[in-house]
């Protein structure tokens, strides 16, 4: 075990896994390691070409590059001297492009398909082509997302995976997860390509190791096989919050078993959180997550901010009051030139917070957009008209037509409100549509297949006629009769059947187009808790901490606890934790909208709730 910074950063005698808690300076550590490699490595170009840095997302890649090249920073590297810094997925795609023929793809026009709706439909179609169930399709989707798909297997789910792969290759597309799965396949089957990439990754540095899943592990295992001592990973098992894609703290915990001779290192610093907030957060974490690998006591951590200020737990009488208080705190903090981060446990809480921020003239940014689905659907149809050969767009359009449009087949949701006969009929239609893929090839796209289908299936005829009407009316778009097109679009797609919805949509869109007035230096960032990683702010506000929302009962409670820990440890000065005594039931997971209890997580913090206006206490 290494706990001395210098020992960690200069150790080249074994693989290392460095546990770096919130604000411990892991970007700095990685940059330091890179800088030392470049300086001590003799011929600069030569060593540079053997360094590969894997970061979690594009933002993290950019932060790493900024850290290394910042003219005011510690390293001041000229941009051309940077080693390779990229995400695991872009490295995967690069490897796939070395030999796409291995997986039945063409080199030209190979793209990554990232639309989740399409992905879901493709899995369902693949399952239905094989006469399996929709559930088998969902299992296949998980199998790929978790990164442990087995090519040779008798399991239904992986047969679906292979059928899905066949459809995707007809369209010359791979999906997000395939970038890694296919890369591993190519490396395993092509020793020359493997050797080339091993040479380029003799020094393999990895950030956010706690978010790795099985396929990412397989990839770095392959790449580092000939040079294990160059493996340098940084992570924090307490911040492992991506189990939905197979991420698991086990890869951190078992690092020394996976790589014999490996060492753990610890960074005993916190340059971000006040000591008081960290004390509460760390005590909470250890009650819930017993395997925690990091430093267990705040007294063993060197804090820059030694303030013992505790988090502020605020009980609002209603969700309206809660949002108003949030807006007030955000506004006064921004006026004091502080940065503000507002976190919500689920997206549904965002619209009300946004509404209040707008009312209080607080500038904000939010990475979710709330354009009504109807407008997204209208846009899809218009895009499709210009690109009818796009099989995935055609597939989405067909789905819209049978869900709500001119070829409507009842039973879309297949829930309790549908009779078993309705569901049966619906599934039969979905299977017929799925099987259209069997006729798609490089010369026949999905739209031409359905247009030239010889059978007189009622649903196919309706889809065909509807789409032809739409295309024909679009001819008149150039000023002749736009009204006719909108009328057809409404009839065929099933949106705006009620004209007042059209008026409502126009109102919403025009509101979205009104620019925000920005008169302060900073703007408040609004995110879901899952997207909080990598972020920090002077003032962090978490809303919706009620018992039926946090922890989310559908998820693992230990991971939910880690998620709450990650959220709290974004704070650089103040942390406000909000819960409301009332919340509409369509937002919480429970039936009633009265008398909400605060989250058990708040009880575990051991802090009382108060309902005094928080801004008055915050100057203490
Ligand atoms: Zn599979």
- Reported as a single tens digit per residue, the pLDDT across 149-207 is 877 777 888 899 999 999 999 999 999 989 999 999 999 999 999 999 999 999 999 99
Of the two residues 482 and 435, the one the predictor is more confident about is 435
Question: What pLDDT shows up at residue 454?
Answer: 80
Tell me which of 23-27, 327-331, 483-487 is least confident: 483-487
DSSP E strands, 248-339: 263-267, 269-270, 302-303, 312-316
Place of tokens 């267990």: 296
Question: What pLDDT shows up at residue 474?
Answer: 82
**Ligand 1 centroid from CA 166, angstroms:** 13
Averaged pLDDT, 17-25: 96
Question: What pLDDT shows up at residue 507?
Answer: 75
**Ligand 1 centroid from CA 147, angstroms:** 8
Q: What is the pTM of this model?
A: 0.89
Question: What is the C-alpha to C-alpha distance for residues 535 and 566, in angstroms, rounded to an integer?
Answer: 10
- Residue 615 pLDDT greater than 70, yes or no: no
**Ligand 1 centroid from CA 146, angstroms:** 9
Question: What is the C-alpha to C-alpha distance for residues 578 and 591, in angstroms, rounded to an integer?
Answer: 21
**Ligand 1 centroid from CA 124, angstroms:** 14
**Ligand 1 centroid from CA 190, angstroms:** 22
Averaged pLDDT, 377-403: 94
pLDDT tens, position by position, 201-248: 999 999 999 999 999 999 999 999 999 999 999 999 999 999 988 898
Question: What pLDDT shows up at residue 619?
Answer: 43
- Residue 45 pLDDT greater than 90, yes or no: no
Q: Is the dihedral of CA 363, 364, 369, 372 positive or negative?
A: negative
pLDDT tens, position by position, 555-603: 999 999 999 999 999 999 999 999 999 888 767 666 656 678 999 999 9
**Ligand 1 centroid from CA 466, angstroms:** 36
**Ligand 1 centroid from CA 369, angstroms:** 32
**Residues 461-489, buried b or exposed e (16+ Cβ, 10 A)?**
ebbbebbebbeebbeeeeeeeeebbeebb
* Residue of 582, 581, 580, 546 whose CA lies nearest to 564: 546
**Ligand 1 centroid from CA 129, angstroms:** 16
C-alpha neighbours within 13 Å on the C-beta side of residue 534: 18
Averaged pLDDT, 453-476: 87
Question: What is the C-alpha to C-alpha distance for residues 554 and 345, in angstroms, rounded to an integer?
Answer: 13
- Residue 620 pLDDT greater than 60, yes or no: no
Average pLDDT score, the chain: 91
**Ligand 1 centroid from CA 143, angstroms:** 5
Averaged pLDDT, 382-394: 94
**Ligand 1 centroid from CA 158, angstroms:** 3
Averaged pLDDT, 284-290: 97
**Ligand 1 centroid from CA 161, angstroms:** 5
**Ligand 1 centroid from CA 178, angstroms:** 11
**Ligand 1 centroid from CA 149, angstroms:** 4
Q: CA separation (Å) from 211 to 208, 242, 496, 530?
A: 6, 6, 43, 12
**Ligand 1 centroid from CA 90, angstroms:** 22
Question: What pLDDT shows up at residue 410?
Answer: 94
**Ligand 1 centroid from CA 364, angstroms:** 41
- Residue 516 pLDDT greater than 90, yes or no: no
**Ligand 1 centroid from CA 528, angstroms:** 30
- Residue 618 pLDDT greater than 50, yes or no: no
Question: What is the C-alpha to C-alpha distance for residues 330 and 327, in angstroms, rounded to an integer?
Answer: 5
């Amino acid at each position: 075990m290494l706990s001395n910074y210098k020992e960690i950063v200069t150790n080249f005698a074994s693989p290392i896994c460095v546990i770096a808690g919130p604000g411990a300076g892991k970007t700095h550590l990685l940059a330091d390691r890179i800088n030392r490699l470049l300086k001590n490595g003799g011929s600069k170009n030569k060593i540079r070409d053997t360094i590969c840095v894997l970061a979690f997302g594009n933002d993290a890649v950019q932060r790493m590059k900024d850290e290394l090249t910042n003219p005011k920073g510690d390293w001041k590297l000229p941009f051309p001297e940077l080693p390779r810094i990229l995400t695991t997925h872009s490295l995967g795609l690069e490897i796939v492009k070395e030999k796409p023929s291995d997986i039945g793809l063409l080199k030209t026009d190979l793209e990554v398909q990232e639309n989740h709706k399409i992905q879901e439909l493709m899995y369902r179609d693949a399952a239905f082509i094989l006469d399996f169930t929709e559930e088998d399709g969902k299992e296949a989707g998980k199998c790929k997302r978790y990164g442990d798909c087995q090519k040779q297997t008798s399991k239904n789910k992986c047969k679906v995976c292979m059928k899905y792969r066949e459809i995707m290759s007809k369209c010359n597309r791979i999906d997000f997860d395939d970038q890694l799965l296919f890369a591993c396949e190519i490396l395993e089957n092509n020793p020359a390509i493997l050797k080339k990439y091993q040479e380029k990754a003799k020094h393999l540095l990895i950030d956010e190791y706690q978010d790795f899943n099985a396929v990412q592990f397989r990839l770095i295992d392959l790449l580092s096989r000939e040079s294990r001592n160059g493996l340098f990973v940084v992570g924090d098992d307490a911040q492992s919050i991506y189990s939905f894609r197979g991420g698991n703290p086990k890869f951190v915990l078992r690092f020394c078993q996976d790589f014999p001779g490996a060492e753990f290192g610890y960074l005993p610093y916190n340059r971000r959180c006040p000591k008081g907030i960290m004390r509460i957060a760390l005590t909470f974490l250890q009650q819930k997550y017993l395997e925690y690998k990091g430093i267990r006591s705040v007294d063993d951590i060197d804090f820059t901010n030694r303030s013992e200020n505790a988090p502020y737990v605020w009980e609002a009488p209603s969700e309206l009051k809660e949002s108003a208080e949030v807006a007030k705190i955000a506004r006064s903090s921004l006026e004091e030139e502080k940065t503000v981060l507002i976190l919500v446990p689920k997206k549904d809480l965002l619209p009300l917070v946004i509404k209040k921020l707008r009312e209080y003239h607080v500038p904000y940014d939010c990475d979710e957009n709330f354009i009504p689905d109807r407008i997204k659907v209208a846009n899809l149809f218009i895009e499709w008209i210009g690109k009818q050969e796009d099989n995935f767009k055609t597939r989405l359009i067909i789905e819209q037509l049978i869900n709500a449009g001119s070829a409507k087949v009842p039973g879309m949701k297949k829930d309790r409100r549908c009779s078993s006969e309705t569901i049966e009929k619906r599934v039969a239609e979905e299977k017929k549509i799925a099987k259209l893929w069997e006729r798609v090839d490089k010369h026949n796209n999905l739209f031409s297949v359905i247009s030239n289908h010889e059978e007189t299936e009622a649903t196919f005829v309706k889809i065909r006629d509807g789409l032809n009407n739409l295309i024909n009316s679009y001819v008149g778009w150039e000023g002749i009769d736009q009204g006719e097109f909108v009328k057809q679009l409404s009839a065929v797609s099933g949106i705006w059947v009620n004209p007042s919805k059209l008026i409502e949509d126009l109102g919403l869109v025009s509101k979205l187009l009104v620019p925000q007035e920005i008169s302060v230096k900073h703007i408040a960032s609004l995110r879901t808790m899952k997207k909080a990683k990598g972020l920090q702010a002077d003032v962090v506000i978490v809303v919706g901490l009620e018992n039926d929302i946090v922890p989310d009962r559908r998820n693992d409670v230990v991971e939910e606890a880690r998620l709450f820990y990650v959220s709290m440890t974004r704070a650089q000065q103040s942390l406000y934790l909000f819960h409301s005594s009332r919340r509409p039931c369509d937002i919480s997971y429970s039936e009633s909208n009265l008398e909400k209890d605060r989250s058990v997580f708040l009880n575990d913090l051991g802090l009382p709730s108060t309902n005094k206006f928080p801004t008055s206490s915050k100057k203490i």
